[in-house]
Each structure stands twice: as C-alpha cells, then as structure tokens.
Structure 1
Amino acid sequence: MSDDSQRPIVVKKIKKGGHGHHGGAWKIAYADFVTAMMAFFLLMWLLGSVSKGNLKGISDYFSNPLKVANSGGEGAGDATSLIKGGGNDITKQAGQVNKGSPAAEEAARDKRRLSDLKKKFEALMDDKAQTNSKLSQYKSQLKLDMVAEGLRIQIVDEQNRPMFKSGSSDLEPYARDILNEIGKLLNDVPNDLSVSGHTDATPFGGGQNGYSNWELSSDRANAARRQMIAGGGMDGKKVLRVNGFSDEVPIDKGNIYNPVNRRISIVVLNKDAEQDIRDQVGSPPPDTAASAPAAKS
C-alpha cells in the first residue's frame, strides 16, 4: 500500500464578495438617450412653431435637396414664413413678409371693378336730373345684384311694357334704348359677358312646328346681344356665352305666368367664372389662343 502521507495536499480557496466592477459604459448610454430625447422634443417644438410654407420647404428639401439648392437654397416655403418675420415672439404676425399672389391681387381688383360698376349703374338709375339717361327712366324694370359669377343686370317685363313684341324676338323701341345705354357702360370694363333669355310659362302658340319657349328665349338673348353691339357700340368679342332658359328659372316661382319672369339677364363675369366657362368647353384663355400658331389647311 502506498503511503497516504506522501500525497500532495491541494487547497482550494473560493473568494466571496460583491459583483465585479462594470465600468462607466452605462453612463454614456444614458447620456445618449437623454440627448436624443432633448433633440426629439426640440424638433417637435420647431415643427409646431413654423408655418405650412416652411414645412413644405423642409419636405421639398429632403425630397430633392439638389433642386432646392439650385433654386436659391431657401426651400419652397411661402412668404408667410415665421423665420422671415423675426422678432422675440415666434407667434407674432407683425413685421412678416406677406406678398399676395398675382392671382389673388387680380381677383381683388376684379371684385372692386364690378362693385364700382354696380355703383355707377345705381347712380344713373337714381339720378332723376339726368333726363337723357334711359336707365333712370326705366329704373323699375332694371334689377342689379352680385352673384357668384359676377355682376348681374336683369331687364324685366312689366304688364303694360314688355321688352319684346308678343311671341317674337323683335325689341320694342324703349328696350333698344336701355340696351344701348348698358352696352356703352359695359364697354368700359375688360370683363366678358354672359347673356341669357327667360320667358314665362305661357306656351308658345304660333310659329313653325317645334318652335317653343326654348327657341324664343335663346333668340331674345341673341337679339339683346346684337343690340348692345350695334346700338351701344360694345365690342362683340366681350360676349362669351348666350343662353336660353325658357321658363325654367322664374323670378316669381309662386306665379310662373307673371310678366316679371320674362327678362334678359346680363352677367358681367368675374375672372373665375370666365375661366370656368372656357374650361367647360375646352377653350384656352384669349392670350393663349392668340399666341397659338394657325393651323395649316
């Protein structure tokens, strides 16, 4: 047997104590997190403070930075930018650059022009001293109002004083005088016109087969157009549309046979209404049509 006393003695020592040292890496991660949160809230505050124009400019920059840089570097934001206004209070509107668009300025001028024209008509209708003014003599048959398309001038019939001969598009002498005066005034404004004819609900009793109030109202509108040109000296190209509505749009809906429903309606069109009419028929604006090359035959 071997001598156990000669075996080597191995002593295992187990150290007990706290966790090992982790270093400062967690502090760096936490600092990065706090910085990112601060940047996020700052971004949210800035986005909530700028105008829609600036937001559009920022969006355009990130979508196509090269295009924005080549166009001047200020982005596509509008002139209402809070940045351009400056000042201590970013919500303050005073001092900001706010240039209206050409279209908005033209619309404002157009509205003022039609309003001034309405006042001019009313002055001529009210001035009893102007004995030569046909408008003042027949004031009761003239109605003016502003509608969505522009300034509407309506010449209505009276029981004992119709504008046209019965069942005809032949104008009575006094109606010619009124249309001559209107044509002279309308020639002074650059706006185009829409002319429409209306009848009452009395069925058309004579004439050719198929001729009805539809044809009669259209013929009367066209007769009014011709009179303003021939007697009033109005430029014929100012008339953009001629319509006949028969008895479909009465003034007195309670009595569709009322003479007041027989009328000629002349609308001095604003620019939006004029463009809408051109768009409906696919016609380009006058300047575009004039510049287009002539078609070869």
Structure 2
Amino acid sequence: MDELPEEEKPGIPAWVVTFADLMSLLMCFFVLLLSFSEIDAQKFKQIAGELSKAFGVQRDVPALEIPKGTSPIFDKFSPAPPEPTVVNEVKQTTTEEAPELQTLKSPTDMAVEAAMEEQLQETMDEILKVLEPAIADGRINVSEDQRRIVIRVEEKGSFPSGSAQLTWEFEGLLLDMAEVIEGIPGDLTIEGHTDNVPIRTDRFYSNWDLSAARAAAVANVLVARDQVEPTRLSVTGLADTEPRVPNSSAENRAKNRRVEIIIDLSGPMQEQEVRLRELIQSESDDDQSALGIESDSSTSNEISW
C-alpha cells in the first residue's frame, strides 16, 4: 500500500524575501539622508574626491614641485622648492608716455641724460642754498617738475592778509633770489593765487586784482636791480581758479593763498642737449674706444648755463 505524502507545512511566501531586501535598502537610504543633515565640508570634499578617483573623473593635478630636469646618468628628477611671488596679484597698467627701455638706450643717450640731470640738480641745490632759511620756516617750497623749477611763496610772512605789500624781510629774500635767477636761463612765470573768499576793498575789487597785484609785486623786486631781464618775465593773476587743496577749511585756504615763481628750463636744456650730443659725436668719430671715458668727463665740464 502506497504511503500517503506528508502534509505540507505552511511557510513564508516567496515575495517576502524581496520585500525584506527593499526595506533594508530603504532603511540604508534614510540613514544616509540623516547623515547628510549635518555636513562636514572637509569630510564631504574628501569623500567626493575619493569617489571621483574611483569613477575615473578627469581632473587637473596641481604641480606642487617643479622638477629641474633629468640626468643622463640617474633616471630621477631633482626637484627644487617653489619660489613664492612677491605680490598676490598682478595688474596691468597703461601710460601715455612712449615706452622706452633703459637697456635699449645708446651710451650717448645715457651720457646726455646723466649730464642734464646733474645740471638740473646743481641748479636746484643753488636755489635751495639761498632759500634755506625761508624753507625751514615753511614760507617757501621748492620742487622740480618736468624740467621746471617751481618756487612756491606762501602767504605766511610774505604778504599781510588782504594786501599786496611785501614784508621787508621777504623783499630782501627776493633780492638774494634775483642774484641766483640771473645766472639761470629760461622763461620766468610769476603766478598769483588766492582762496575762494571774496574780497572787495578800495584797493582790490576782487581776488583777480589781489592775485595779479601780488604777482606783480614779486616781479618788481626781481627786476629792481636789473639782475633779471624784464623780457623773461610774465605775470599772471589766477585768483582761486587753481587751488592746491579744496577751500574747505581755514588751513586749506591759507595753503591756496600763494605766489609761484616758475623757472622753465626746457628750452635751454634742450639746446644744451643738442650741443652735448654734437660734442660726444665728434669725440666718437675721433676715437671710438674712448667714448665711455672722455665723453663722461667732458660732460660735466662743457655743460653750464
């Protein structure tokens, strides 16, 4: 007699396994979302980098060390430490002046330029020597701008307020200055400047009158002893049209009240430059080997006002 089959025991359906796997994956997914709720930037960057390496993402590898080169004997690099730059950024600038490299100048150009700078400095030193006491007191300032010497006379100790009458002490200083200016060539421009405070007196109708009168007073002293030729002089009253600083305070207004004596050396220096080039060229034709020595020695001897 055939045996009866054993009674099948009830079990878990097959779809439960798939469901359990899905639930496990969902749980891992939500755990991952929970971990992302507070991101550590450093760790995230590290993990992202590792993942990019694992998946072969193309990237730029910075060169931390620059190799010097390879040796024909040793098949290894000999790297040198990188040199940091002085500035963090480099900005491009433009200029209206014609670009000219110092290294491209000829020996003649360099000798002429050095001689003209030396002559200009000697002239400045001569003026500064005469005006040294007034400069120390802050009554006069001397500057050089593109082959022009500007002697700025402040109102302090030179003119009484609202007047064009020179003080006795400053008049003597101008007479000493005339002796120096006599030996310096070039045109002289005397400019009078005021602040923006209006003036209306019996003597001066406006700041134009005051500025012109002060400039004329300086010119009269310079030509008083016939040391400075009147044909070299030009007098200009500019009132408050060219202030040095804004007229926003009493201090600034005092700076704007001034007389400027401008000695223009551009013309005489250009003539001297032409003569010096001719001198150097003649010496160069006679003896090319002695150009670097004799031209420099003759420069200081031949160039004079």
TM-score normalized with structure 1 length: 0.47
Instruction: Please say which structure displays the higher CA radius of gyration.
Output: 2
